[in-house]
Every structure is written in structure tokens, then in C-alpha cells.
Structure 1
Amino acid sequence: MVSFLSVVHDRLYAWYQTNGRHDLPWRQTDDAYRIYLSEIMLQQTQVKTVLERFYFPFLKRFETLQSVAEAPLDDVLKAWEGLGYYTRAKNLHHTALTCQGVLPKTPEELGGLKGIGKSTAHAICAFAYRQALPILDANVKRVLCRYFALHVKNENVLWQKAWELLDTKRPFEYNQAMMDLGSMVCTSKNPTCNACPMKLTCQGKTYPENYPQNIKKPKIPIKKRFVSVVICEGKLGLIQRKERLLHGLWGFVQTDEKPEGRFLGIVRHTYSHFKLELEVFQPGCCTKTFDGWFDEEEIASLALSTVDKKILRCWRSMMMKSIVSNTD
């Protein structure tokens, strides 16, 4: 007798064969490093951005996890530049060093490495080693909440349901299909339930918007600070950041107190939890101790955050205006 679960699996598998994103490069390899890299990059970034701008350039620079381990952290951060959430790059480098360039093959060992959570560990094992393990990314969580009519995204309950629904015979295809289903059909807004291969047994299909219940996000606060762009003998003074968000990156000095000097402009940048508004000044003199002095060519080889690149462009723009003004 055919179980309802096997019918669900067969329908999901057939849907994936026809509609799945088979052309994604990390789905066309069993190289654990390439799969791990894609999982880390995709944690906070959309597939399109990773695919078009970062995945292949990073692999060109670091072909193996061993090459990551052998490189200085500054080089890894430079290759990650623009992708944001730089803790991911630091964890990648730390993991490469810890496992000496060779990823372990069990979820328990992988989960003990810095920056690799349970779902990422399961993903590596399921996709690289074809182990029968479920994953729980944001899309899968939404599918599970609707399928089982769960109002709240409780991690323990979701893992229980993920194991319950898992296709142990085809874990690779099942997990990829669940992610694609959440991304393409069971979307957060306006899901197309009629196109869903799991619609016959889905408990939340009547009111999918009720699962899970959305928590109203608080208004994003605006932080206002000041920046000092200090130049001496043609070189700019930079510090290497130590705070968690941008640790290891080079940048300009930010303060809460307005510095004396020439006003250059305002730079704005949006992070996930707050917006930053910076008034940029060029002081006539500065007693601040810098970690290094660099000309523009040297700065190009350093790893800078997006906001510090905006500050640099602001300074350049004002310098060009001054040159034009002086030549008129």
C-alpha cells in the first residue's frame, strides 16, 4: 500500500524535475567546499547577487578551502568586499584553519565549526555527501509552517516536522525542492497554492497568510555620527576596525562628537537593523592615532566596507570640486 507521504514525495520530486533551479552551480557539484561557500554567502544575500557578483570571483581567488586557510584574513576580507556581513568571511577563514582545509563529513563535526549552524551542517552533508538530513532555511521554514498549519516558527517543532516530512531516499532533490518551493511558489506574499505539488495534503492552504503569523517589525532607528578624513603628506589615515560588525576591515574614524574642520558632505548607509547617517569632515589637524597611512592606490588593495567606500567617494568628490574651483 502506498503511503500518503510517498505520494507527497513523488509529487514534490516531479515538480522539482520540471521547475527546479538545476542550473545553479552549487547544485552541479559534490564539492563540499563549493557547497559550503554557497550556503555561507546565501545566508544574508539573495541568490541573484551571489551568483552574478561574488560566487565565481571568490572561487577564482580561492579555488579550495585549503587556499582560504593559507591566505591572510585581510585577503579573504578583500575578496568578500561588498558582500557585507563580514563575520561570515571571518568564520570561513577560521573554519578553514581549524579543519586544515578539509571539511568533516558528519553534521556533528561540521556544527562544531565556527559559523556553521545546524541547518548549514545538514545542507553540506545532504548536498555533498547525499546524507538523509533535512535543512531549515527561511524558505523551508515557511513551507513547513503552512503545510502543518503552524502559527509560530518554533525551532524545535520545525525540526521535528522537517524530520517527519523528509524524503530519506532522495535527500538532495527533496531539500532543493523544498527551498525552491518556498522561493517560487510558497512565497511570503501572494503564494500560488494552486501550483503547489503539496496542495492536496497542505493544512494551511485555505489561509496561507496565517502561517506563520508575522511579527510587526519595529521602525529601523537612525544613528547619526561623524567621520574624520585626515590627510597628511598625500596619505589618508585609516584604522583597522575591531568592533564585531566590521572587524578586520579598514576605514575612517567615526565619532559621536562633531570634529573641527571642513565639512565635506553626508553619507548614508542602511544596515539590517539600523540606518547610519554620517557627516564627513576633513580636520585641519588630528591627534588620533591611526593604524596606517595610505595613498589611494594602496587603499584600493585594502578591504573596506561599503560605507567607507562611500566616505572615500565623498572626499574625492570634494577634492575634485576644489581643483576645478581653483583652476577657474
Structure 2
Amino acid sequence: MLSLSVKEAIYAWYQKNGRHDLPWRQTTDAYKIYLSEIMLQQTQVKTVLERFYFPFLERFPTLQSVAEAPLDDVLKMWEGLGYYTRARNLHHTALTCNGILPKNPEELGGLKGIGKSTAHAICSFAYHQALPILDANVKRVLCRYFALNVKDEKVLWEKAWKLLHVKHPYEHNQAMMDIGALVCTPKNPNCLECPLNFTCKGKDTPENYPQSLKKAKVPIKRRFALVALKEGKLGLIQRKERLLHGLWGFVQVDECPENAEILGKVTHTYSHFKLELEVVKCDLHVKVDDYFTPEQIATLALSTVDKKILQLPAMMGNVTPATPK
């Protein structure tokens, strides 16, 4: 058994140093907590807080309102946040549970896009259930505290349960995330300020835990984006592929059509590859889903790379998309 003193130290640290002002920590609304959890996957707190969390809640104040909305509307509000699978899963989950989230981790974990840690987070933060969480920050803290070289999920869950303060699960889990974000950082951790310092097995060489895996070189995909015009309108498709499913954008092909006029180049880096697009105006017939005016384009959910295409100087001579208010 771990000494209760380290658990009490974590609890006391949170009372004094925790980020109590975060809006999703000032509510017990499971939907608002769930929304924050999925927005914060792959996205920094600052970005979510300043640009996405409040506008999304203003448009969709309840999970029921998400369920009642078309997927296109949800994607539009998610525009710019990236990793759009999260938005599609949110919409799917809202429909599946009829706008009311279950209150136990097993049922929550069975919903699309809600993994074990997110299910535990919702139950811990909304209902104060004694369950540990295991996000990226917590994993790093646990690896260092227990001197674990490898992030083995099974072992990390065992350690998370071992360290959990069952009387104060809410504060404990929030503290573990904050310690990872503010103190036990990936580089240059501030071990002297850490409440786990006095019993941490990895404090002398924190950079060794966990051991970093060498990142593979990001592959580059080179393609062509086709700008098709009809009576001043732009031809777009609604994507079916998994990466940007549901978003609108320009047709992309692997080979450049003959006699195409080059309008410019754009690049965009995704999580697992970099896309280099040569944008060309094509007079040949291009199969699109529909043609849109600038005003209509402003209402569609577009990916970042397609927005970059619209901002090319050469596009201005063809059509000038309206800027959303």
C-alpha cells in the first residue's frame, strides 16, 4: 500500500495550485465535461478556451441539441479545431444515447469516441466516482513516479488505481493532470515544486521516464486540387474518406489534368503525413457535388487546407469567398 501522505500531498497541492478557474471545473454538467474532454484531446487548453469551448456551447447548450442538429452544423462549429472524427463521434454519441449520457463508466466507454479514460473522467468529474484517469499528462507523471521506462497501458492503469485518493477522486484526478501540465512537464520538469517529489523513484533522472521512441519521418503526399468554376460559383465535394469525412472542399487528384492553369501551392501537416497541394484551375469537366456562391461557402464546414486554397491571391481573380461573420 502506498503511504496516504503522498495522496494527501497531491490533494493539498491541488487546493493551492490547481487550475480551479477552468470553466469545465466549475460545473457538474456531464455534457459540458464530456465536451471539454474530447476538445482537449490533441488540442491545448489555451486554444480550446479562447476559440472553441464557449462558441460551441452557445450553439449547442445541451447534448440533446447536438442530437437534434445535422452533422454539417456540428462540423461547422468544430471548424478549425481539427481531428474531425471527434465531432462526428460526438454527434453519433448524442444520437445513440438520445441526448442523455449514461452515469456508469462501462456504458460510457461503449459509446463512440469515448475511451476508458474519458469515461472515467466524466464519472469522476460529474458524479465524483472513485475512478482514476489516464491521459497523456497523467501517464508521464506515473511513469516518472514509479520509474517506468515504457508506457504499458495495463501497468499504468494498475499504478493509477494504486495512487488514487478514493476519498477525493475529483481533486486527485484534476491534480494529476495539472501536475503533468504545469510541473512534471515533458522537458525541464520542476521537481522541487512537485508534491510527489519525496517518494518519486524517477526524480533524479526524470528525462528517462518514459523513454522516448524515435519519431518516424513524416511522409509527404503530393497532389493536385482542382478549381472548377461555373457561372462564378466554385465546385466542391463533401468528403467521404475517413480523415475529413463530412467536410466540404476541392476535388483532389494524383495527376495534373492537361492544360490546367496553375493558381498556386498550399501545404498542410496532418498527424501522420504532410500534404503538398498544387492548386490548378481546370476547364475540363470535374465531377463535384454542387457549385456554391461565396456567401454559401461561408456557411459550409471546410477543412483548413481548403481554406488555404480560398486565400490564394490567384483565387481572387476567379471568386472572392465571403468572410464568415
TM-score range, shorter chain: over 0.9
- The TM-score normalised by the length of structure 1 is 0.95
In the other structure, the counterpart of 2:90 is: 92
In the other structure, the counterpart of 1:309 is: 307
1:169 alignment partner AA: K
Distance verdict in 2 for CA 1:99–1:195, change over 3 Å: same
In the other structure, the counterpart of 1:38 is: 36
- Which of the residues 124, 127, 137 maps onto 2:125? 127
Q: Structure 1 CA distance, aligned partners of 2:27 and 2:241?
A: 36
Tell me by how many angstroms 1:285 deviates. Answer: 2.4
In the other structure, the counterpart of 2:19 is: 21
In the other structure, the counterpart of 1:177 is: 175
> Moved runs in structure 1, 4+ residues, more than 6 A?
none
In the other structure, the counterpart of 1:318 is: 314
In the other structure, the counterpart of 1:152 is: 150
Q: Secondary structure of the residue that 1:7 maps to in structure 2?
A: helix
Is the CA contact 1:227–1:254 (under 8 Å) kept in the aligned structure 2? yes
In the other structure, the counterpart of 2:281 is: 282
Matches within 5 A, 1:224-303: 224-260=222-258, 261-286=260-285, 288-303=286-301
2:171 alignment partner AA: E
Q: Structure 2 CA distance, aligned partners of 1:17 and 1:172?
A: 12
Q: Structure 2 CA distance, aligned partners of 1:110 and 1:193?
A: 35
Q: Identity of aligned pairs, percent?
A: 74
Tell me the number of residue pairs that the alignment of Structure 1 and Structure 2 aligns. Answer: 318
Q: Structure 2 CA distance, aligned partners of 1:45 and 1:218?
A: 21
Could you tell me which runs of 5 or more consecutive residues in structure 1 were left unpaired when the two chains were aligned.
324-328
Tell me by how many angstroms 1:319 deviates. Answer: 4.2
Q: Structure 1 CA distance, aligned partners of 2:3 and 2:73?
A: 48
1:80-121 superposed Cα distances (whole Å, 9 cap, x missing partner): 000000000000000000000000000000000000000000
Q: Secondary structure of the residue that 2:197 maps to in structure 1?
A: coil
Q: Structure 2 CA distance, aligned partners of 1:309 and 1:319?
A: 11
Could you tell me which runs of 5 or more consecutive residues in structure 2 were left unpaired when the two chains were aligned.
320-325
Is the CA contact 1:5–1:165 (under 8 Å) kept in the aligned structure 2? no
1:300 alignment partner AA: A
Is the CA contact 2:147–2:201 (under 8 Å) kept in the aligned structure 1? yes
Is the CA contact 2:2–2:163 (under 8 Å) kept in the aligned structure 1? no
Q: Secondary structure of the residue that 2:284 maps to in structure 1?
A: coil
Q: Secondary structure of the residue that 2:277 maps to in structure 1?
A: strand
In the other structure, the counterpart of 1:326 is: none
Tell me by how many angstroms 1:4 deviates. Answer: 5.4
Q: Structure 1 CA distance, aligned partners of 2:200 and 2:278?
A: 53
The alignment's C-alpha RMSD in Å is 1.2
